Structure formats: C-alpha cells, structure tokens
Amino acid sequence: MRRLAPALLATLLPLAAHAEEAPKTVSSVLATTTGADWRGLEPENTLVMELPSGRVVIELAPAFAPLHARNIRALAREGYFDGLAIVRVQDNYVTQWGDPKEGEPDARPIRTAESALPPEFLVKDAAALPFAAIPGPDAYAPEVGFVDGFPAARDPKTGEAWLAHCYGMVGVSRDGPESGSGAGLYAVIGHAPRHLDRNITVAGRVVQGMEHLSALPRGTGPLGFYETAEQRTPIATVKLAVDLPEAERPKFQVLKTSTPAWADYVEARRNRRDGWFVEPQNASDLCNTLPPVRPTPAG
Amino acid sequence: MRRLAPALLATLLPLAAHAEEAPKTVSSVLATTTGADWRGLEPENTLVMELPSGRVVIELAPAFAPLHARNIRALAREGYFDGLAIVRVQDNYVTQWGDPKEGEPDARPIRTAESALPPEFLVKDAAALPFAAIPGPDAYAPEVGFVDGFPAARDPKTGEAWLAHCYGMVGVSRDGPESGSGAGLYAVIGHAPRHLDRNITVAGRVVQGMEHLSALPRGTGPLGFYETAEQRTPIATVKLAVDLPEAERPKFQVLKTSTPAWADYVEARRNRRDGWFVEPQNASDLCNTLPPVRPTPAG
C-alpha cells in the first residue's frame, strides 16, 4: 500500500494527526489503542439499574447537570426507584421509567432528595468544558463534539454548550417549564430527537445494557405509555456503583475523546475503509460517532 | 395571539407559503389537511409481512430501485419468504430477514426471481425525480429532501440522487460489491446509519408495524445474528398487497411531500411551538422529518 508523505497526509486527514501509514479502519484503530486511551467509569457517577432481563449501566454527566446528578444519586440512595417500573416505550423515541402513580395521592414520596430542581438545559459559560469538536456540519448546532465522552453541542457566539439527544442518552422527564427532579427518567431508543436539545435536562448516557430498554414492547397508550400494570417492566433496584460491593460494580471503560487515538477513530468513522464499503462519506454525524465502550481488561 | 403581516410572515417562515395565521404546530397542520394532501399506497408496490406479533407494511421504491422492486415482487409472489425468519437484530442498527441457511447446500432455492442483480445504490440522472428539498445543512450530502415520501439526498454537481438510511428504511443485504437480490432484506431500527448511503441498495420503507421489527430481542452472535433456530422470529408470509383480497389489503395513506401542507409540516417540525417547548431549533434533520402515515379515512 502506497505511503503518503506526512505533509500530504495532514491535508487529507487533518484529524489523524499521528497517522503515518495508510488510512485506518475502525477495527484497526481500536486494536492499536493502549490502556491510556480508555477511562474507567467513576463509581460515584455510575447508576446500575437491575431489570428482569439484565443490567443497565448509566454514566451521569455532572459537568452538564450537577444538580440533577446529585439528586439522582440521592434518589438512588434512598431506594426511590426500587420496585417502580418502565412506564412508557414509544417507538423511535424514548423508554421512560419512574412511578406509575406519579401525581396521584398514593404516589411514592421522595424522602431525602429534592422533588423539583431548576432547569439545567444548557451550560451558560462552557469555556471550562474540555470540548473536543468533530467536523460538521450539524443540522442543529453551530458546533458539535464530545466532552469527556458525552455528545454535546456548542455555540461559540453565546459561549453556551449542551448535551445532545443521541441514542442512549438519558434525560429528566418534565411537564411544565421547570425541570423535573430525576424521579422520572428516559433514554433515547431511536433516531436522535435533537429537537429536545436545550428543552430538557440531559443527565447521562447508557453505557451498557441498552437492549434491556430498546427491545421492550412498545406501549399502546398515547405517547407510548403502558395502559395496565401488567404491561410495565418492573425495576428491581437502581443503585450507585459506589454503594455496591466492589465485585458487583460494573467494570467498563469508555474511549477517551481527547487523544490521538480518538482523532483516528473519528476519521475512521468518517471514511469507512474496510473492504465492504465502496463509497466513503467523509462524514459521520454526532450521534454516529459515540465513543465505544468495552469491558475493563483484566489486570 | 398577535397576527403578523403576511409580508413579515413570509420572511420568517419562507416554507409556510400559505400561512396567514400565527405559526402552526405539527398537530394543527395535520388537523387542517384535506384528503388531497394524502396519497394511498399502491397495492403493486406494497409488501405485507405477517409476523407472530402482527403485520409489517413496506412501501417499495421503484423510482430508486426498479430492478430490486421488481425482483422483490417476484420473490413475494413465489412465496420465497414464507416460513423463513428474522435472522439478525443488532441494537441501534438493523433487523434483517431471509433464509437462515443462505449459502448452505439446503438453502431455499429462488425459483422465478433473479438470484443476483446489479447495484442500484444511486440514481445517476435524477433530474426527472420530483425532489422536494428541505432546509439543510446535512452532515452527509449537499442536499436532502423527499421524493414521493421517501427520504433522499441529492448532489447538484453530479446530478445523482439516492435514498437515505433513515429509521424504518428497508435495504437489500449484500456481501460482496455486487448487490443482493432482495432475498435478504433489513430495516433500520436505530439512529440513521447514513454511512450506508450509496453503499447498498435501499428498496423501500416500513410505513406501518415498525414495532414488530424494532422491539425484537437483540441477537447475541456477532453483528446481532441469532445463534439458534429457537431465537429467530418466524415469518408466516410476505405477500404483495395487490395479491391479497381487497378486504385484507393494508389501508394507509402517506402525507404527500409536494403540497403547501407539507411545507407547513416541515416548518412545524423545524420550530416546535406547542407549549412544552421553550427553545425552537429552526432545524429538523432529514430523518426527523419523515412524512406521517395514517389509516385511510372511511368513505
């Protein structure tokens, strides 16, 4: 395979700053990462939801939603979610969970956590966030990229940044203009509903076990809400990983979105070069560029 | 609500050419459509797949893939798919169906249809297609829009157009650089994998019953293939609507993508104005703008 002069390569592949060989594939980039290219989940920021079919692992995003992350931790610690249910599955949209009796007299009380919070729809001064932009254009925002593995958008004119509603992102249900409390949460299970961006608080991302949320029967009521108790999937428990015995904590790593390996990964997603593809796109939209997650290697 | 002068409104809402009132919502636009804003499905271009959980209705796209549409009709008419199975469900990607024994000595023979076809990855001269562009930008193509209800992209420089891999779009499985035959098909069940555009033949769109494909258990083998016969969902039959008795034909209509009502719909999707939203996006990407489908009204 013909080698390209480094200067020419830099022109063709500005993201692949460290590339010296021929263009790389997603597989070849991941195969050559080292331990330093990955980061583990912080047990204090990791939720573990146990469903009948298996475990859902959610990484919280306190950099974007500090009040909600703190409140969701408090809700988990008081056992708020234990025994509640998946209440809604709307095809190509969201799976939502919480108290089926929310708003009714016998709804489950919130004991230690806050029951309402101010909106955290966006970060007003995002200068301190380690925003790693990817090439655009994006249909919804002037600039898109990743902050510590979370898909985000940014407006250089206002200095604001916000999390983007990609597949697997976890948001906080709300009814009125105020934000919710985190007692009702949802995960995106379809094409990214980016029209929700900046309209609701996004608090994290499912990093493992999406299939336990995405493959559920769709609700038959309006907006995909289930209509009977029998249709709902029960939640056994939602706990913080830090509160689990060490052996039971989820052990996964997310590819860092700040390294040369990440730049190579983005470029390999933009131009698929394994044999099957005949037409590279020179494009990969934000939600098709989510960082991969792997089990933490032994040792 | 304050009325806007028509001239000002035209500036604010260039797509809503016929709007005279205040900005409209998705619901209000749909509520004011007339029968002329909708088109029925052509029975000759409509596939009906019967699964244990219910019916999946697929509209074929002969304008983009005439050879594949013809061959899929022939496959349905010879009963090729009857008794075959869903063979693969990969989360956030595709559900695929066909012969679990494909490539093996006892694979089901194709009797009347072609067993291989030339690629129909794109239309080289798209000037004759009724392309209705929507506002960009799009991450993958210079121009995007709809052709008779199908999401598509276009390159004005080359004159080419192609179908886009949005949620619910149906493509033709292939292994090598040649196209398949239609004996193996897939539907998109996650965020639009637009990197597949122009790399594979797209032959239609699921217009009803997506939940019968999207809520299936994910396959546990590589690429989401099922590993045992028991895991697969059986296909009872796949028939063309035109071959069904009149009373059994699916009766649905798709919003036409060529009318003032469509322009209003696109604008209402771009700027959600129902009370819940606080921040309209002035954006709606191609795959978030798919035309709605409704049961054909009685009479």
What pLDDT is recorded for position A20?
A: 52
Q: Is the pLDDT of residue B4 over 50?
A: no
- B15-24 mean pLDDT: 57
Among A198, A218, A276, select the one facing B211 at the smallest CB separation: A218
Q: Is the pLDDT of residue B8 over 60?
A: no
Lowest mean pLDDT among A51-60, B163-172, B176-185: B176-185
Contacts of B285 in chain A (CB under 8 A): 139-140, 194
CB pair distance less than 8 Å for A285 and B92:
no
Considering only CA atoms, which of A207, A118, A122, A208 is closest in space to residue A163? A122
Distance from CA of A77 to the nearest CA of B (A): 31
Q: Is the pLDDT of residue A183 over 90?
A: yes
- A287-293 mean pLDDT: 98
- B206-226 mean pLDDT: 98
- A52-73 mean pLDDT: 98
What pLDDT is recorded for position A177?
A: 66
Is residue B296 very low, low, confident or very high in pLDDT (cuts 50, 70, 90)? very high
Q: Residue B205's Cα: distance from chain center in Å?
A: 3
Q: Is the pLDDT of residue B274 over 90?
A: no
- Tracing tokens 């009125």 back to the chain, one arrives at A176
Q: Is the pLDDT of residue B38 over 50?
A: yes
Residues B198 and B121 sit within 8 Å (Cβ to Cβ): yes
Is residue A276 very low, low, confident or very high in pLDDT (cuts 50, 70, 90)? confident
- Tracing tokens 């009963």 back to the chain, one arrives at B79
What pLDDT is recorded for position B208?
A: 98
Maximum C-alpha span of chain A: 72
Residues A49 and A102 sit within 8 Å (Cβ to Cβ): no
CB pair distance less than 8 Å for A198 and B279:
yes
Nearest CA in chain A to B280: A195
Q: Is the pLDDT of residue B221 over 70?
A: yes
Cis bond before residue A66 (omega within 30° of 0): no
CA dist list (Å): B125 to A57, A102, B103, B140, B158: 48, 56, 35, 19, 8
- Tracing tokens 């249900």 back to the chain, one arrives at A173
CA dist list (Å): A217 to A88, A263, B110: 9, 38, 34
**What does the alpha-carbon distance between residue A11 and residue B206 come to, in Å, rounded to a whole number?**
42
Distance from CA of B296 to the nearest CA of A (A): 20
What pLDDT is recorded for position B196?
A: 97
Q: Is the pLDDT of residue A286 over 80?
A: yes
CA dist list (Å): B115 to B73, B83, B233: 13, 19, 24
According to the 3-state scheme, what is the secondary structure of A2-44? CCCCHHHHHHHCCCCCCCCCCCCCHHHHHHCCCHHHEEECCHH
Among A137, A167, A277, select the one facing B190 at the smallest CB separation: A167
Contacts of A138 in chain B (CB under 8 A): 137, 139
Count how many pairs of residues, chain A against chain B, have C-beta atoms within 8 Å.
123
Lowest mean pLDDT among A3-17, A177-191, B60-74, B263-277: A3-17
Is residue A273 very low, low, confident or very high in pLDDT (cuts 50, 70, 90)? confident
Distance from CA of A114 to the nearest CA of B (A): 22
Q: What is the dihedral of CA A250, A252, A254, A255, to 10 degrees?
A: 170
Tens-place pLDDT, residues A224-245: 999 999 999 999 999 999 999 9
pLDDT averaged over every residue in chain A: 92
Residues above pLDDT 70, as percent of chain B: 92
Lowest mean pLDDT among A67-81, A266-280, B65-79: A266-280
Residue B147 corresponds to which tokens in the numbers above? 């052709």
Contacts of A272 in chain B (CB under 8 A): 195
Is residue B39 very low, low, confident or very high in pLDDT (cuts 50, 70, 90)? very high
What pLDDT is recorded for position A3?
A: 29
Is residue A10 very low, low, confident or very high in pLDDT (cuts 50, 70, 90)? very low
- B41-56 mean pLDDT: 98
CB pair distance less than 8 Å for A284 and B139:
yes
What pLDDT is recorded for position B13?
A: 35
Tens-place pLDDT, residues A36-55: 999 999 999 999 999 999 99
Nearest CA in chain A to B165: A191
Contacts of A191 in chain B (CB under 8 A): 166-167, 190-192, 287-288
